[in-house]
Chain A
Amino acid sequence: MLQRTIPIAILCLSGVIMIVAYFVSFAVSWSETVNVWFNILSAVAFVLGAGNLLAVNLEKISSRRPGWAYAAITLVSFFFMLVVGLLKLGAVPDPKNPLIHFAGDYETSASPYGWMYEYVFSPLTSTMFGLLAFYVASAAFRAFRAKNVESILLLGTAFIILIAQTAAGMFLTGWIPQDSVFAVLRFDSLKVGITEHIQTAGMRAITIGIALGVAATSLRLILGIDKSYLSKN
């Protein structure tokens, strides 16, 4: 019973405080307190996550499940970064306090932590993000087919934006004078027209719908009507 009542009470109280604080000046400090508590909890959640990561990967290694070697690499990397970062191993001494080890800079690439960040972590995440270019190309190849009027419009818009987003747009239509009646046919003008009018209008419509959805869902949570995020036991 309390497992459900207390969280709902906390949610309801926090929600009402945040709303009131937006309109009443003296309640601002209450909302600050709520924010500070939220920040503390989100910091603690990192520890909770680390515990779960350990449990899952140790179980994988001990039971020799398929891919257990990846779990081992994960744990070794995790502990390496944790120890090097927490103990500031190899940190560059601070010129003002050269004798105080913990005053040293551990984020520079001259230290092991900074080096790992700069030359291992950074390239790896950039690679993952870079994969998007390849997936966008294969998705575009498959999805942009002129099957009906709507898809032809989509195709035409994609064509204009793809051209206008590069120097090719100016190369092809840059010769049309800005002040002529045909200036609207310039790729840069077409792009501005599409993004600032058509796309923004569509996006506003979707955003209004989403905002109303968020408001309704938030209200369901604050009023304790939607309890799906809580255990039923």
Chain B
Amino acid sequence: MMREIRERSRSTMLLAATAAAAIAIPCCIALAEGAGDAATPAGAAVAASDSVVRTDRGPLAIAIVIVCGAVIGGIMLARTGRPLKIRRLAALDAVDEAIGRATEMGRSVLFVPGIQDMTDIQTVAGITILGRVAKTAAEYDAKLEVPTCRSIVMAAARDAVQAAHFEAGRPETYNEGNINYLTDEQFGYVAAVTGSMVRDKPAACFYMGAFYAESLLFAENGNSIGAIQIAGTAEPSQLPFFVAACDYTLIGEEFFAASAYLSGERDQLGSIKGQDFGKLLAVAAILIGCLLATVGVFAPEGAIAHAAETIKTTFGG
């Protein structure tokens, strides 16, 4: 018990130290900017680029401090043990239903983790969701197929699925042959995946990650074979296609929240709270900016118009 408490406090101290270091750097820059002269933004940018600290990027430093501070604050708040209320996501609630249906029908489950590499944060979020899907599939003894577009993603997916099988208490059912690398070429990958969809007719299809033109090709093929389809992406241009053709879609930030939500870890859930606080600040900033700009239209020479212009040039570029 004591050891657990000691480890917990050490981890909190480590988090606080890292957070302090991460916040200290932009803070120093913000202070440095305050000491600098008030040149025009363009002139300041040129002068600042030659100095050691890029003072022209002070506003961004402040924004980073606020957002990161909010997220870290959320995590630390979660560690105090306060209850965290997170809105349920219908798409995630449908995961069990979709895999259960596939099991009953004796068909496979298809998981497509997008077409980007592990450098894309969406792929990382997709792999986290894959872990949860794989665990449920292992519990139900459903066959899960994961074709990947990048070899590193394949390695990460294999790790996640294997870990899920261990967690489900069924390590013997793990088959790494079901997680394959196909090709880096976007449409070559689409041809291979849609071809296997038409041949194998999976009963549940998950599309979680970064998608581009292939989103509709996957979703329409999935629709034609009557599969339950659950998608999640942070590519705004592809969201309409998934919404039109899939049963459930995780839209933008929901997708990132989902990976934390599914992990069930308090730290990760706390970060969602911090993220929400950041969103609240963004909404407040937008409202204040709109209000100032609107009032400024009626009194273009007044202090409010000047304030609106200053905010616009400082934060808006």
Contacts and interface: CB of A to CB of B under 8 A. Distances in A.
A214 interface: yes
Interface stretch (A106-114, A127-135, A172-180): A127-135
B228 to A, nearest CB: 16
Given A128-B190, A208-B282, A232-B166, A226 B216 contact: no
Contacts, number: 200
Given A128-B191, A233-B162, 4 more contacts: A48-B155, A49-B181, A212-B278, A226-B128
Contact of B127 (A132, A203, A214, A229): A229
Contacts of B180: 52, 56
A228 B263 contact: yes
A210 B118 contact: no
A210 B185 CA distance: 26
Interface stretch (B36-44, B68-76, B136-144, B300-308): B68-76
- Count chain B CB atoms within 10 A of each CB in A42, A59, A128, A143 and give the residue with the most: A128
Contact of A230 (B159, B245, B263): B159
Contacts of B117: 42, 45
Contact of A143 (B154, B195, B244): B244
Given A19-B25, A26-B52, A221 B124 contact: yes
B51 A25 contact: yes
A132 B213 contact: yes
- Count chain A CB atoms within 10 A of each CB in B22, B67, B162 and give the residue with the most: B22
Interface of B: 15, 18-19, 21-22, 25-26, 29, 49-54, 57, 60-61, 64, 67-68, 71-72, 75, 117-119, 121, 124-125, 127-128, 131, 150-152, 154-156, 159-160, 162-163, 166-167, 177, 180-188, 190-191, 195, 199, 213, 216-217, 219-220, 223, 234, 236, 239, 241, 244-245, 251-253, 255-257, 259-260, 263, 265, 267-268, 271-272, 274-275, 278-279, 282
Given A23-B61, A213-B275, A214-B121, A49 B268 contact: no
B57 to A, nearest CB: 6
Nearest to A127: B187
A46 interface: yes
A27 B297 CA distance: 43
B242 to A, nearest CB: 10
B15 A206 contact: no
Interface in A41-55: 42, 45-46, 48-49, 51-53
A5 interface: no
B22 A16 contact: yes
Contact of B259 (A218, A219, A222, A228): A228
Contacts of B18: 12, 223
Describe A's contact surface by its main secondary structure: helix
A218 B185 CA distance: 27
Contacts of B223: 142
A217 B282 contact: no
5 contacts: A56-B180, A139-B245, A206-B251, A212-B275, A225-B265
A203 B167 CA distance: 39
Interface residues of A, number: 62
B71 to A, nearest CB: 5
A214 B123 CA distance: 12
A220 interface: yes
Contacts of B278: 212, 215-216
A42 B116 CA distance: 12
A228 B213 contact: no
B179 to A, nearest CB: 10
A209 interface: yes
A38 interface: yes
Contact of B121 (A20, A52, A129, A217): A217
Contacts of A16: 21-22
A52 B72 contact: no
Contact of A210 (B51, B188, B236): B236
A67 interface: yes
Contacts of B118: 229
Across chains A and B, which 7 residue pairs bring their CB atoms closest together, nearest first?
A213-B256, A49-B151, A128-B187, A231-B159, A209-B253, A143-B244, A232-B163
